[in-house]
Structure 1
Amino acid sequence: MPDLPAVETNVSLRPYNSFGLPALAQRLVRVHAPEDVQRLLADPDLAAMPKFVLGGGSNIVLTRDLRALVLKVEIAGRRVLARRDDAVIVEAGAGENWHAFVAWTLEQGLPGLENLALIPGSVGAAPVQNIGAYGVELKDRFDSLDAIDLQTGAALTLDAAACRFGYRDSVFKQALAGRCLITRVRLRLPQPPTAVLGYLDLERRMADTGISHPTPRQVYDWVCEIRRAKLPDPAVIGNAGSFFKNPVVTPEQCRDIIARDPAIVHYPMADGSFKLAAGWLIDACGWKGKSIGQAGVYEKQALVLVNRGQAIGGEIVTLAQAIQESVYGRFGIRLEPEPVVV
């Protein structure tokens, strides 16, 4: 049997989470191929340890050291898998940087992911969260993925139905939470390409520039500009992007809130419900720019919580809970965090 991958001990996870929070991994293995996981699971001692899958670290809040075997996913590779009349199938290793992968597809002349540019994290984490931005969700472009069952070592292939995608949700946050390590992801880019331009920020760019039919590269550039203006660079200010999900309410709830706060930002959904802008709710409660300890609310976007320098995970959680209580007290809406608290 080939050698086991190297097992590192007491590894600092500060460089591997976008909040820059302090924590140690008791043991850490860098996974470069699916076979690495299967070799680990064949070792009785390592197989018996609890496992924690770590991708880009952009969707976690570390509040403690991890007394587990941390599987740091570093599986690389990008390729065009198939060209069909109605779509092109592209594949990427789970350890690839998501934004770099989006840029690569455009360089290949394959649009379809431009609305999802500059979302932090890895390709393997994208289906877990069902990432989305500017009118497009990952499920809209998803084909299938490969994974390893961390209990049995079996190789799995899941299609969109098996992934049970929801709003910032999937089977990997529900029934398969902690059970699978995603190794490769395949996406379906429609042919001919169809631009998604109905999001308010993009409509404003079209109006400001006079460009009614932007190219995929223009949409990509606009999305990058918009995100950079709103969101801090994790390399400069620790953060996990949007911290709370935008709540979805019934038409009756929306009418009630509008009656009290006519300026509330809201969007109609296809099923008749309404999505409310969580950042607006937080800002309306006066949280923008405020801090608890070293954890703060970003001055330019109330939806983003930041590490002001030496924050610990507990401070981020305390701030998030205070915001939740404040929003619930004023609007009767319970905000749900996007990142996983560990």
Structure 2
Amino acid sequence: MKALFLALAASAALVLPAQAEDVTVAVTAIVEHPSLDAVRDGVKDALAEAGYKEGEGLKFVYQSAQGNPATAAQIARQFVGDEPNVIVPISTPSAQAVVSATRDIPVVFTAVTDPLGAQLVKDMEKPGGNVTGLSDMSPVAAHVDLIKEIMPDVKTIGYLYNSGEANSVSLLEILKEAAEAAGITVVESAATKTAEVQGATRALIGRADAIYVPTDNTIISALESAISVAEEAGMPLFTADTDSVNRGSVAALGFNYYDVGKQTGEVVVRILKGENPGDISVNVAEGTDLVVNKQRAAKVGIELPESVLSRATKIIE
């Protein structure tokens, strides 16, 4: 009996190391900034909560493209060659690169504004194939309402974006429609790389009453450049990204991106447990936070109304 027990124990000891690196999840983002980093961390924590812990059944791989689409494509090809169980691209450019690189490995994209416009899936309810994910489509009409509530006399909004980012182009059309309904004109200014953000911001000075930055990875990566120009000109800058309020935006209504990551991780877990990604609908992330920065508002001559402060989930003094 003792010999049998020892034999079983030895057998188990041989099996466990083979399972230690049993599952590989490869994650990539177009660039590193607080929101996208929070998504990555949320994915990892959701996996851990489901029992997939790094070094204990999970190999978690992460690479950033550092803002370079060509690097994103290279990372996608490398990941496909490594054959992980699931690839999680964060942001539209990374998702497009990964989806183009594989028709076999399950892909769960996240922080993608317009999956249909970016041609990642053909149907949100039944994506089919090897791809599903989570959209972070911004509540743009609510953003316009918020700007108007804070600045009742606003007539023109400057839209600062990268014209090469599919999600930002989609959001521009939505913004124009929402702004027109509110009697507001939209003025565009594009920066195709971070080095151009400062100049693109300057191009809006004198042409707009306020600046609005969408969930655009290029602009968000160099947000301090935009904020310094806007602040020097006494122009309020609003963002769709709540993490940017800490960095100097006056206000933002948007997602908690750590929660977006956790929601994404839950989809990854479903696939690891056997579900087909093509059978999992693409949903819009849940939850919105209102974050305001009283100090930055004061610097550009704005007093935040009580109606905004009373419903803010976070106030930066």
TM-score (norm 2): 0.22
Q: Which has more strand, going by share of residues? A: 1
Looking at CA atoms only, which structure, 1 or 2, has the larger radius of gyration? 2
Greater RCO (Cα-Cα under 8 Å, separation 6 or more): 2
Q: Which has more helix, going by share of residues? A: 2
TM-score (norm 1): 0.21
